[in-house]
Every structure is written in structure tokens, then in C-alpha cells.
Structure 1
Amino acid sequence: MISVLFAILTALSNGAASVLQRRAARSVPDTEAMRLSLIGHLLRQKVWLAGIGLVIVAAVCQATALATGPISVVQPIFVIELPATLLLAGFVMRVRVPRGVWYGVAAVTFGLALGMASAAPGGGSSSVRGAAWVPALVLTGIFEAALIAGARSTRGNARGALLGLAAACGYALTAALMKDAMGRLGDGGGAAALMTSWQLYATAAAGVGSLFLLQNALQAGTLVAVQPMLTLGDAVISILYGVTLFGEHLRTDWWLLPELAALTLIALGCVELARSPLATGNAVPPPGTRVK
């Protein structure tokens, strides 16, 4: 399936970008938090610019995936971004991958497989009908405002987790807007329908806002605090958008039990992976090793 292939490519790009951005954000002083000057500081760092390049690649792949498949199928696949990135980092740096990382990879992979098999997401339309966006945007705005207000009243990992969830909500909204915009392209309107749709420009605005929230999340807390909220939040909120806006369906009833088990496995796997030196940027290759 084309959508699954491009979702995997998106996950690889986003995972690598997240680690690079975390390395750059760690050098930003606390006084720059929640200010536009934070972005100016990051623009001077090559590692952050490399991460942004991967974000652009991911956006193209994500648009292709969403144009060819349901959002409730595409977005959950992104939970593999961290395990795939860490394994790739270990290979490139020629660093022995710790046993804990393999456990984390297994937990996330099995959790994703269990969740997808249990929920069996699918169906739905390619675009949003009527004025369904109005309540969705209002509720999203209220939720985001509450998370940001809570983050501003705390510090450290708590702030990072709240802002990570806010960024996840923003990225889920970006995906839903992107799918709606791409759906209008495929409904026969052509490029003109796409370029004149408000969803296209809202996608750009939501993406920039989400990026800003993510940089602040990574600056405020550790990857262990931010990544699980970002990964699970994006997947779960995207599924909510898929069901409520696009009419996609999931299995419920007793299927909720294995679905909850899958979420637990993914969360535990993300925490284990985020603790790895490969994720924090502290992994050191053996002496004399040339890193490609």
C-alpha cells in the first residue's frame, strides 16, 4: 500500500529530525523559552537546520501518504519513528545498540502491530464535509490554550511533557488539514482547488506553530518526558480527527482492551528508547572509528 510506504518514510525523517532538534535545543538558555528569539538562536546551528531539512522531506512524504490512505492508518505508523532512527544512528555511528533499545524497539513494534490489528482502522472520506471544521477548531484551540497555560505555570519535564502534547495536537491538526486539502485536489478540482483552499494555508500555519511548540518542549524537558507525549498524542488525536471529521471507523467493544494494551506497550517502549544515549546524543563510537 502506497500510504503505508510513505508513512514509514515520514516516520524515518521525523524521528531523525526530532533527535537532531533536541541536540540543538539543549544549548538554548532558559531565558529564551516561549520567545521568537529561540528560533533565531537555533537558526545559527547546523544540526538544527539539518533537522529542518528532514522535516521538509517528511512533509512531502506525509502529504502523499494522507492523499492515498486514511488518517487513522497513516498517523499511528509514525510511532516507529524513534526506534527506526535510533537503530539507524547506532549503525551509522558504529555504536553497539544497548539491550534496552532492542526491548524498546520490540515493545513499540509489537504495540503498533497489536493496535492496528485490533482497531482495524479504515473507511471514511477524502475530505471534510460541511462546517465540521468549526467545532473541531474551537475544541482544538481550547485544548491547546489549556496545555500552554499549564506549561507556563511549571518548569522542567512537566513543562516539556505538556508542550510535547500541545505540539502533538498541533501536528495531528496539521495532518487533518493536509489530508482535507489533498482531498480537494483529488476530488476533481485540480491544482486550482488546492491552491484556493483555506486548508492548505491553515496547514502551513499549524505546522509552524507545532514546530515552535516542539522546540520549546525539547528545550524545557528531556526527551524521555517529551517523546512519549509527542508520539502517542499525535497518533491518538489524529485518530480522533479521522473518526470525527472524515468518518473513518475503528473497532470498539471488547477490542478496546487490546487497543489499550497496545498503547501501554508503545508508551513503555518510547520511554525506554528515549533514555538511550543514542537518543540523547551522548553515544560515543569506539576510539578510531570513522563516523560516516
Structure 2
Amino acid sequence: MHSNLLAAFFALASALTIAWGTVVRHRIAEQAPADGSVHGSPIIAAASRPMWWAGTATALLGYALQVVALAFGTLLVVQPILVLSLMFTLPLSARYDGRRMATDELGWATALTVAVGVLVIMGDPLPGNPQPPMNRWLPALAVGVVTLGVLHLLSRRSDPNRRALLLGTITGGIYGYVAVLSKATVDVITHEGLLALATTWQGYSLAAGAILGTIVQQYAFNAGRLRNSLPAMTIIEPIFAFVLGYTVLGEKFQVSGWNWAIMALSLVVMILSTIALSSRRVG
């Protein structure tokens, strides 16, 4: 059943749970050594903490809610709403730090909410084809592998702050692909049943992407302050998902004429608000 309203509801629930998991795992990552030794591995050090597992479980729950949202609606509805996870991250982070949110943070948060609302309500996206032919998948996957691979090479030669930014960008890119593969996988389950995943490439690719994204995200958290990695993670994911939703799945916004200018302005406001909020105080 297609319902953008239900998709929005589950996407909001996903954003909230993702936010809590992000704050918990980042706080643990800040305390984890990264000296290059086996015992200093960010993953090994973080995984030794029970709270990291609690945060990871919450993030997985958030992803499950995202999958449910995608089962009801389009990527072009779900992805902008997931950006609001940043709005939930801010008060949670402030509470952990024992401080109050500043006036300008509240202003940017309001701007972000309005921008997302315009994209979802005015855009009123139409669903595409969740199972496009391989000749539409292969170019998109090849471009993603090359682009993210180059960014990884650059991150290895960067200072900590730039490394956190690049790893955050890679994480966002990976999760953008994970979002598109999630939509395709949900369609397989809906029409062919759960057992059909054993014979389709989408399910395996989704699992590989989700695992890789979790690992890279933990390294991004460990590389520097959350304000260096979170903006890239939060913005790059919907951008990748938007582009892939249009080019691969064929989803479309129902706008024309000058309404496109309003949509473009809303997208710019969403990006600027996210950058301002995440770099203002988080981490």
C-alpha cells in the first residue's frame, strides 16, 4: 500500500531513534584510543563497551523503521525527513553535555523543519520502479565505487579534522546507496516473499553496504569532533538518495514552473541549516 503519510510517520520515528544511537556511539568513540594498534582499533575499543551495543541496536531499530517507511512511500519523502535526525541529535547532545540549546540553534532548527516540510508536501513525489533493469544499476554503482574510493584515499593522507569530514562524506554516500537498495529489497520482499532474497543480488548488496557503512561511520566518529563528520553524513546521504531515486528508480517530484525555484530554495535551506546546526555545537 502506497501512503506518503505513513512513510512520513515511520521516517520521523526512524530519525528519533537514529539520533539517540548517534549520540551514544559518538560519545564512546571520543573515549576510544586510535593509536593504530590492534587494541587501539576504534571498532574493537568501542565494541568493548555495552553502551556502544545499546547505541548500535538503537541505530538498527532506526534503520528498521526507515525500511518500513520505504515500504509505504518514496525515497524522495523518506530521505528529507531523516535529515531531521539532526534536530533530535542536538537536544540529546546538549542534555548529555549539561547545557541548553542557543537561540540561533532553535532558529536554524525551525528553518530546517520548514525546508523539509516544503520538499515533502509541495513535492508530493510519485513512486518509480523499485526494480529497474541492470543497465540502470551498473553505471550508478560504478560511479559510487570510484567516487567513494577516491575520497577514502584522500582521507588516509589528511589531518584529523579533514579526515573526519571525508569519512563522514563517505558514510553519507554509502548510506545513500543503502537507502536505494533498501527500497529495492523491500519491493522484492513485498512481491516475492522473504525467501526470494536468497536468489537476488539486492539483499546481499544491502547487507554489505550496511555493514561497511557502520564500520566507516565509527571510524569517522573516532577521527574527530562530531561537528566535522555529522554535517557530511546528514547531507550527503539524502543528496545521493535523491540523485539515485531520480536516475535509477525513476521517482519524480510533482512540481512545475516557478515551484521548482521554491523546491531548490528549500533544498539550499536544508543544506545550510544542517551545516550550521551540526557545526554550531554538536561534538
TM-score of the two chains, using structure 2 as the length reference: 0.88
- Alpha-carbon separation, structure 1, partners of 2:125 and 2:239: 12
Deviation at 1:199, TM superposition (A): 1.1
2:216 corresponding residue in structure 1: 213
User: RMSD of the TM alignment (CA)?
Assistant: 2.6
* Of 84, 90, 95, the match for 1:86: 90
- Alpha-carbon separation, structure 2, partners of 1:29 and 1:92: 21
* Matches for 1:39-188 after TM superposition, within 5 Å: 39-87=43-91, 96-117=100-121, 119-187=123-191
Q: How many residues align?
A: 278
Q: 1:31 to 1:240 in 2, by over 3 A?
A: same
Deviation at 1:270, TM superposition (A): 2.4
Deviation at 1:120, TM superposition (A): 4.0
Residues 120-159 of structure 1, C-alpha deviations (whole Å, 9 max, x = no match)? 4322123233442221211110011011111112112211
Output the amino acid matched with 1:241.
Answer: L
Query: Larger relative contact order (C-alpha < 8 A, sep ≥ 6)?
Result: 1
Q: 1:56 to 1:181 in 2, by over 3 A?
A: same
Output the amino acid matched with 1:234.
Answer: E
Q: Which moved more, 1:6-15 or 1:255-264?
A: 255-264
Deviation at 1:34, TM superposition (A): 11
- Alpha-carbon separation, structure 1, partners of 2:180 and 2:75: 7
Residues 2-26 of structure 1, C-alpha deviations (whole Å, 9 max, x = no match)? 2111111111111221221211111
1:283 corresponding residue in structure 2: none
- Alpha-carbon separation, structure 1, partners of 2:264 and 2:163: 25
Matched, 1:190 2:193: yes
Answer yes or no: is the 8 Å Cα contact 2:34–2:40 preserved in 1: no
Q: Secondary structure at the match of 1:31?
A: coil
Output the amino acid matched with 2:71.
Answer: A
- Alpha-carbon separation, structure 2, partners of 1:39 and 1:84: 25
What is the identity percentage for the equivalent residue pairs of Structure 1 and Structure 2? 26
Q: Structure 1, unaligned stretches of length 5 or more?
A: 281-292
TM-score of the two chains, using structure 1 as the length reference: 0.85
Matched, 1:199 2:202: yes
Q: Which moved more, 1:60-69 or 1:20-29?
A: 20-29
Output the amino acid matched with 1:8.
Answer: L
Q: 1:216 to 1:117 in 2, by over 3 A?
A: same
Residues 232-252 of structure 1, C-alpha deviations (whole Å, 9 max, x = no match)? 101110011111111111347
Q: 1:190 to 1:164 in 2, by over 3 A?
A: same
Output the amino acid matched with 2:227.
Answer: V
